[in-house]
Amino acid sequence: MENKGQSFRILCDAVCILNFAGVDYRGIIVNISLTGALIRMDDKVPEGIYPGGECSLMLCGDAENCPIKYKCKIIRTDAKCVGVQFSELSCFP
């Protein structure tokens, strides 16, 4: 485990889907905590994704069959990664 800021981060290597402006982007969770996650995108971070933007994160590889979605805010980006802060959790039956 890594400690960055106030929350312990767990190293991870799980597939996820980041939805921004109605578009799904596939990525890999680098690390995750109770308050947010760092996501490595399959390619580079798509243009238009910016800090402060609202998004959602699904902890699965198939948006159609994913029962859990986190509403998030983008807190940072670099060439290949997006950092998000969780704001709300939605569960679907």
Domain ranges of the chain: 2-91
Express each pLDDT in 10-64 by its tens digit: 888 899 999 999 999 999 999 999 899 999 998 889 889 999 999 999 988 888 8
| Contact yes or no for 86/70 (Cβ under 8 A) | yes
Q: What is the DSSP string of 20-88?
A: ETTEEEEEEEEEE-SSEEEEEESSSPPTT--TT-EEEEESSS-GGG--EEEEEEEEEE-SSEEEEEEEE
pLDDT tens, residue by residue, 76-87: 999 999 999 999
Strand partners, 71: 56, 88
- What is the model's pLDDT at position 5? 53
Domain at 2-91: CATH code: 2.40.10.220
